[in-house]
Amino acid sequence: MNALGRHVLAELYGCRRDVLNDVKKVQELMVAAAIKAGAEIREVAFHKFSPQGVSGVVVISESHLAVHTWPEYGYAAVDVFTCGERVDPRTAADYLVEGFSAASFTTQEIQRGVFDTESQAAASD
């Protein structure tokens, strides 16, 4: 079995609330995480909500990094999805755990586009 991509879902708790509410800082951390993981950045889009919270995405050649923050709870939901072997989504997620100063976190990795190479080859014949 092979997978086309790896998707890391990270739940970050006890984060610095001032950082979670600072759109510029959140964007800087997300871009840095993508670079640290070895990704090639294509697009960056972030939005600051009123009265609080930030959402954003870093589109990379290998897929994307996304974040949604709830400063009032010290919580950030992070997705890092990468395709191919060159970029490690866990490297990016670990960087964000540190960058947001998370007191605790959980991660879950999901393989995306899982297929059996023999079955796939037979189907294309």
Residue of 83, 101, 104, 124 marked active site = 83
Rounded to two decimals, the pTM is 0.90
Is 64 catalytic? The answer is: no
Residue of 15, 47, 50, 68 marked active site = 68
Is 83 catalytic? The answer is: yes
* Cα–Cα distance measured from residue 102 to residue 23, given in angstroms and rounded to the nearest whole number: 17
List the pLDDT tens digit at each of the 125 positions of the chain.
Answer: 588 999 999 999 999 999 999 999 999 999 999 999 999 999 999 999 999 999 999 999 999 999 999 999 999 999 999 998 899 999 999 999 999 999 999 999 999 999 876 655 555 55
Angle formed at CA 108 by CA 118 and CA 40, multiple of 5 degrees: 75
Pick the CATH number of 2-112 from 3.40.50.2300, 3.40.50.720, 3.60.90.10, 3.40.1080.10: 3.60.90.10
Is 104 catalytic? The answer is: no
